Amino acid sequence: MVSLFRSLQVHRITHCYLRVCLIFLLFFIASPTLFGNVYRIKKGDTLLIAVVGQPEYTHSVQVRDDGKINYFGGEFDAAGATVTTVNHLIREFLVRDNHVRNPVVMVSLVLQENGVFVGGAVKTPGRYIISPETDIDLYRALALAGGIGENADRQGVQLIRKDTTQKVETYDLSAVRPYRDVRVHINDLIFVMPLSVVEVQGEVQNPGKIFVRGDISIAHALARAGGPTQEADLTVVVKAERNGKRSEFNLSEQFWKSPPNDEPFPTLSDGDVLYVPNVFKTDPIYVTGYVRTPGPQRVRGPLNLLQAVALAGGFDASANREEGVIHRQEGTTVEVPLKFNPDESTGQQQILLYPGDILEIKKKFEVNWGLVSTFSFIFFSGVSLILQLTQ
């Protein structure tokens, strides 16, 4: 009997020991002391409510916009309170409503993914997870996004604070500037302002992309591209806008000087292309379809529609002389009237063809009288046959 009593006592001690160990294990896993005493619960947070030994009462709840949570029919104010306060509220509720006699309650904050947002002119924009204890500066945050892109405005790096102030800070991270220790906090937004991108192609010293702030004049764009080559034809410089519109400008050899009458230089905007042709070369404009000699027509500079048709030998007898189709070099297609006479009073302009464009002349609509007579014969024969059958 004594040995049996000692055995039961050992089992009871072992059971109590395991229960205490389990409580401590859940406490360290689910309820870090960092958030239990310091952190104030906010709207939108998720709480894990665990009752030791009562898995049916373990549940996750989210703090609503009104700052309250629902738990098994009970409603509690959680926003602004600590995890310890909510723990006491849940325990009192379970005892008061006779859910659990002596509950061991563990309320913990379900940590959401913390990170910084990096966008704009960076190589891989996105959200990058960092720990709340991580010490990170502005340069390291940009490095997480692959670094600053080639079209980045290094003088316009914005840091938007996600605290109560919603403060926007702007920093100059140019290479000539010394390092600045700017700390980045959880959920801050870093946005690198992009520069406008224009292209200068053709007969210039350094063709390619140019990064500018806002717009740039054609004169400055030519200067940034190293200036024209000896074979450049500045009398027919072409500007192609992003929307497909094209314009032609006649610039003097001293293109950097102001134009006569103090007129402003035409400008290039984001996505525009400036093309400087070669003075010795001619580029083709294609005329296809119902013209007498379809094919490429080598010219210098743009042509209007009737000039292009004339170079192709004129209209074919079956050509539609009312309208044609232009296939632009950049891929757009548009139907245009062929009998177009510009009227200065309305401010309209001629439709022009540029090197690489295709003018398609389609066939005019013609009535096939033979086919019409055949169908008419069949129709009337059928009608007469029906009448004879009905009689």
pLDDT at site 342: 44
pLDDT at site 116: 82
The CATH class for the domain spanning 283-361 reads alpha beta
12-19's contacts with Cβ under 8 Å and 24+ in sequence apart are 19/52, 19/53
- Which parts of the chain sit beneath pLDDT 50? 1-2, 4-6, 8, 10, 20, 23-37, 340-349
What digits encode the pLDDT tens for the residues 186-229?
A: 878 888 888 989 998 888 899 888 998 888 988 889 889 998 88
pLDDT at site 211: 92
Task: Please state, in angstroms and rounded to a whole number, the distance separating the CA atoms of residues 319 and 80.
Answer: 80
Query: pTM for this structure?
Result: 0.45
Sheet holding 126-129, edge to edge: 126-129, 115-120, 189-194, 152-160, 168-171
pLDDT at site 30: 46
Q: Which CATH superfamily is domain 115-194 in?
A: Outer membrane lipoprotein wza domain like (3.10.560.10)
The CATH code that applies to domain 2-109 is 3.30.1950.10
For CATH 3.30.1950.10, list the domain ranges present in the chain.
2-109
For CATH 3.10.560.10, list the domain ranges present in the chain.
115-194, 196-276, 283-361
Task: Please state, in angstroms and rounded to a whole number, the distance separating the CA atoms of residues 305 and 317.
Answer: 18
- Backbone φ, ψ for residue 366 (5° rounding): -125, 140
Q: Are strands 358-361 and 283-289 parallel, antiparallel or unpaired?
A: parallel
The CATH code that applies to domain 196-276 is 3.10.560.10
Residue 361: count of CB within 10 angstroms of its CB: 25
SS (H, E, C) the chain: CHHHHHHHHHHHHHHHHHHHHHHHHHHHHHCCHHHHHCCCCCCCCEEEEEECCCHHHCEEEECCCCCEEEECCEEEECCCCCHHHHHHHHHHHHHHCCCCCCCCEEEEECCCCCEEEEEECECCCEEEECCCCCCCEHHHHHHHCCCECCCEEEEEEEEECCCCCCCEEEECCCCCCCCCCCECCCCCEEEEEECEEEEEEECECCCEEEEECCCEEHHHHHHHCCCECCCECHHHEEEECCCCCEEEECCCCCCCCCCHHHCCCCEECCCCEEEECECCCCEEEEEEECECCCEEEEECCCEEHHHHHHHCCCECCCECCCEEEEECCCCCEEEEECCCCCCCCCCCCCCEECCCCEEEECECCCCCHHHHHHHHHHHHHHHHHHHHHHC
Provide the residue type at 201 as one letter.
Answer: Q
pLDDT at site 19: 55
Task: Please state, in angstroms and rounded to a whole number, the distance separating the CA atoms of residues 308 and 360.
Answer: 11
Residue 354: count of CB within 10 angstroms of its CB: 20
371-380's contacts with Cβ under 8 Å and 24+ in sequence apart are none
pLDDT at site 26: 47
pLDDT at site 253: 55
